[in-house]
Structure 1
Amino acid sequence: MAGPVPELEDRAVACAERLCDADRVLLASHIDADGLTSAAIAASALERAGIPFETVFEKQLDEDAIAEIAATDYETVLFTDFGSGQLDIIGDHEAAGDLTPVIADHHQPADRETEFHLNPLLVGINGAAELSGAGASYVLARALAAVSSEATSPSVAADGGEETDSSRSSSAPRSDGGIVTASGVANARADNRDLAALAVVGAVGDMQASGGELHGANQRIVDEGVDAGVLETGKDLALYGKQTRPLPKLLEYATDVHIPGISNDENGALRFLDGLDLELKRDGEWRRWAGLTNEEKRTVASALVRRAVSSGVPATKIDGLVSTAYVLSEEPVGSELRDASEFSTLLNATARYERADVGLAVCLGDRNEALDRARQLLREHRRNLSNGIDLVTREGATQAEHVQWFHASDEIRETIVGIVAGMAMGNAGISRSKPIIAFAEKNEDEVKVSARGTHSLVRKGLDLSVVMGEASRAVGGDGGGHDVAAGATVPTGQEEAFIERADEIVGEQLS
């Protein structure tokens, strides 16, 4: 097999062979955009290989969740986008004969060995920047296609998938197939390369497009997606909403690079567009960026750059106006599913409101009821984010020596408080020179903690995964994640003690 990440090939093949040997599989995954795309990739690969499976989602893979999984009558459990960090607990159940774990993850592994473990960190690849959970699932899916095709008869269904007995079908929604039309590579579905599009959505949703593009192993997956005809890439404005937002709103809400007189200025954005000699309205409606011609896009982009320069925006910031766009070429123009960033945001909206089933169905091809429900959840998600950011900006953050923090209590959902914290950085009273830690009520006994940093702080030594893990365990909780974004759960009443320890650790990292 010529897989996308050769360093992981042996591990991927071993995991795939174990799955093919299983009578059936329990697929357990995380609920954010990376977790949902991980699950969708794994579900598609299992289905195409003819392996019966059931899917469950967990917001947090703690001892109770692992115990519930171990208590099922599934002997083989595939963990995607989590599992590595919980190997100490999973390993106890494995040793007791409760389950055989197969793990496709990218988080920091616990200090315990298991046989079927696919994680980029085990082979020196950065799991926070070069391969997401969805990417690990994609590597496994490619291996599973190869292994299952060798283990079964060579008969192939007309849609490119393997023919399977009806008794081997899964209970999960079936993918719409992603039939290749652009590249002429007709077997992209048979070898699972069409799933590269979902892997890219997961990586983008996991904030791995640092510097405006994906790197390392992620880029190799992009290349496979382009070859398979399911992805297109190119330089474009680095603005969220290019597919769906009317042009004035696209510019008004573009705050990553603040352009005076346009960003956060509805009338200013309208005046800017009215000053361009372009047909930017049709039938009385503002057009969207995705519907402009290349020449029209260049005209708007050039005018934006001129405005930024004349307004004194630093050159390094202006460079951030352009990034690499990842387009799912088989989705219709104007759909949020066509842009990897918008797709990932839609998935996050389903996950944060306990509707992972909706997000999974969208990933697997449901463009009717599931997509409609996902869009409703996204509208609610945006309202809640806006209200949360307003609250944090209004109340401000408490400044410790090395970190800043706020406690949202029950005013911001614990499932979105981390997103709010990250988006609030840089607003009035919220510094970008310190990591931000956010608390939100989880239940009567526990508090959710979310931490966000910047890639600049990470380059200076910040590792929030270590901070969250060590500080939470010091007060009787647990946590982990990535260097730039991590989370934890701590007992109610231990917030100040947690902050004291977290502040010490960050100080040590950045000294």
Structure 2
Amino acid sequence: MAGPIPELEGRATRCARRLCEADRVLLASHIDADGLTSAAIAAQALERAGIPFETVFEKQLDEEAIAAIATTDYDTVCFTDFGSGQLDIIGEHEDAGDFTPVVADHHQPADRETEYHLNPLLFGIDGASELSGAGASYVLARALADISEPEVATDGGTASATARADNRDLAALAVVGAVGDMQASGGKLEGANEEIVEEGVEAGVLETGKDLTLYGKQTRPLPKLLEYATDVHIPGISNDQAGALQFLEDLDLELKRDGEWRRWSGLTNEEKRTVASALVKRAVSRGVPAKKIDNLVGTAYVLSEEPVGTELRDASEFSTLLNATARYERADVGLGVCLGNREGALERARTLLRNHRRNLSAGIDLVTREGVTHEEHIQWFHAGDRIRETIVGIVAGMAMGNDGVSRSKPIVAFAEKSDESEDGGEDVELKVSARGTHALVRNGLDLSVVMGEASRAVGGDGGGHDVAAGATVPKGRESEFLEHADEIAGEQLT
């Protein structure tokens, strides 16, 4: 059976065969939405293949984390959504016989190779925009299904229908991971991601179609949906509670039922067209540029087996829910939601999401209020311990475009790491997150290189993608780091 991405099929099969040879596997993954969906896809694929495994999560796969993994008694370790950038360290443990790594990742690889390394960048596929970590895990899952024996049900039949037998049902989680990794920021998923979408549609777990790109179409009451729609700022509606209400009340539609505002997901297609048309007219009349108005409409990715009106129905809302779990040390909750726990885990995730939104709002307000420092080619702020290290990158990206925060320069954010050092004192490293725009990337920006080279120049380490990357640097060396980062970014953008 052919895999979804022909270029990766041979490597995926080799990795899958190695996993099938293992008595048991340690599954290690990153903690963001892409990492959680990567882990969930790999976990279900391993379970269906009858391979015993244990799952662990890491905020950052650094030398210390890899050394801890090496002390376990697992001979095979499957890394998902990270591992490529740490192959130099992983390789040392592989050479020492500590474990055999199987890596399914999409980040920029270190200057070291290993036999079981599945990464789109090795085959000319862009890991920042065409295939996510969850996508790489999905390719591996499809290969596992192809070479492993199908699970046998207790009634003597095969475990399930074709979708489960070939793992195509896991395409829905792969799409959630890609959307969470901002790979649909241009309005739709592209490249290898499109092949995964097609498999999800064929398996009956995904639906796609043109729709408004506003966040919250499943769960937000209509006035809040419009008020909080700030990616395309529409004067008199965006960030304007009274204006959003008045806009809706001027439409000849039934916008409330039983005294409650309806949600976008509950409108008929005709009603949606009415609202969308009025939004476009308002945007035109208020002078919103045509290119931005075009961004009001994009491809929606709907998980067709999930209940209408829930966060799980929409790939964007699902990914945000997941981001709100592991970033607050509850990766187990996010994994539980991905694996189908629709009771305790989902309710806990919703509580964490409410807290996450409050923290993001407070962080954005802080950055906007205090401002950023502009260098020649980059801009930056230092949050100290006022913004969690696990969300400071999200805050930085969301603050771009606010008063005093430019979208024409990449933004760099510092935050104190929450971990304590082994002697009980404060950690001597800082977390650094950087965000750019796809327009800057088209002009030559590669934040993976900026963060990697600048951090290593001051005794730290980093990497990531061209549009978003991270690093750790020693406290007290921020100025040196910024000098290097500004110089490298300047060379890329000129």
* TM-score, scaled relative to structure 2: 0.97
The 5-angstrom pairing of residues 265-284 of structure 1 reads 265-284=240-259
User: Does 1:400 find its partner at 2:375?
Assistant: yes
Cα gap change, 1:265/1:366 in structure 2, threshold over 3 Å: closer, same or farther? Answer: same
- SS of 2:354's equivalent? helix
Cα gap change, 1:44/1:353 in structure 2, threshold over 3 Å: closer, same or farther? Answer: same
Give 2:354's aligned amino acid: R
Pairwise CA distance, 1:156: 3.8
Q: 1:220-252 deviations in whole A, cap 9, x for unaligned? A: 000000000000000000000000000000000
Counterparts of 2:131 and 2:460, CA distance in 1: 28
Aligned partner of 2:317 in structure 1 is 342
Q: 2:476 aligns with which of 490, 493, 501?
A: 493
Unaligned runs of 5+ in 1: 164-178, 180-185
- SS of 2:85's equivalent? coil
Counterparts of 1:322 and 1:224, CA distance in 2: 23
Q: 2:298 aligns with which of 311, 317, 323?
A: 323
Cα gap change, 1:162/1:11 in structure 2, threshold over 3 Å: closer, same or farther? Answer: farther
The 5-angstrom pairing of residues 118-133 of structure 1 reads 118-133=118-133
Aligned partner of 1:157 in structure 2 is 153
User: Does 1:475 find its partner at 2:430?
Assistant: no
Q: 2:234 aligns with which of 253, 259, 267?
A: 259
Pairwise CA distance, 1:446: 1.1
Counterparts of 1:159 and 1:205, CA distance in 2: 39
Q: 1:137-172 deviations in whole A, cap 9, x for unaligned? A: 0000000001103xxxx6742799966xxxxxxxxx
Give 2:71's aligned amino acid: A
User: Does 1:228 find its partner at 2:203?
Assistant: yes
Cα gap change, 1:162/1:87 in structure 2, threshold over 3 Å: closer, same or farther? Answer: farther
Aligned partner of 1:109 in structure 2 is 109
Q: 1:380-419 deviations in whole A, cap 9, x for unaligned? A: 0000000000000000100000000000011111110000
Give 1:451's aligned amino acid: A
The 5-angstrom pairing of residues 212-223 of structure 1 reads 212-223=187-198
- SS of 1:54's equivalent? strand
Counterparts of 1:212 and 1:159, CA distance in 2: 45
Counterparts of 2:468 and 2:158, CA distance in 1: 40
Cα gap change, 1:155/1:59 in structure 2, threshold over 3 Å: closer, same or farther? Answer: closer
* TM-score, scaled relative to structure 1: 0.94
User: Does 1:332 find its partner at 2:307?
Assistant: yes
Aligned partner of 1:12 in structure 2 is 12
Aligned partner of 1:41 in structure 2 is 41
The 5-angstrom pairing of residues 328-477 of structure 1 reads 328-442=303-417, 444=426, 445-477=428-460
Q: 1:287-342 deviations in whole A, cap 9, x for unaligned? A: 00000000000000000000000001110000000010000000000000000000
Q: Is the 8 A contact 2:49 2:151 kept in 1?
A: no
Aligned partner of 1:72 in structure 2 is 72
Give 1:430's aligned amino acid: V
Cα gap change, 1:143/1:161 in structure 2, threshold over 3 Å: closer, same or farther? Answer: farther
Counterparts of 1:318 and 1:114, CA distance in 2: 46
- SS of 1:221's equivalent? helix
Unaligned runs of 5+ in 2: 419-425
Cα gap change, 1:159/1:441 in structure 2, threshold over 3 Å: closer, same or farther? Answer: farther
User: Does 1:198 find its partner at 2:194?
Assistant: no
Give 1:125's aligned amino acid: I
Q: Is the 8 A contact 2:218 2:314 kept in 1?
A: yes
Name segments (4+ residues, structure 1) moved above 3 Å. 158-163
Aligned partner of 2:85 in structure 1 is 85
User: Does 1:139 find its partner at 2:114?
Assistant: no
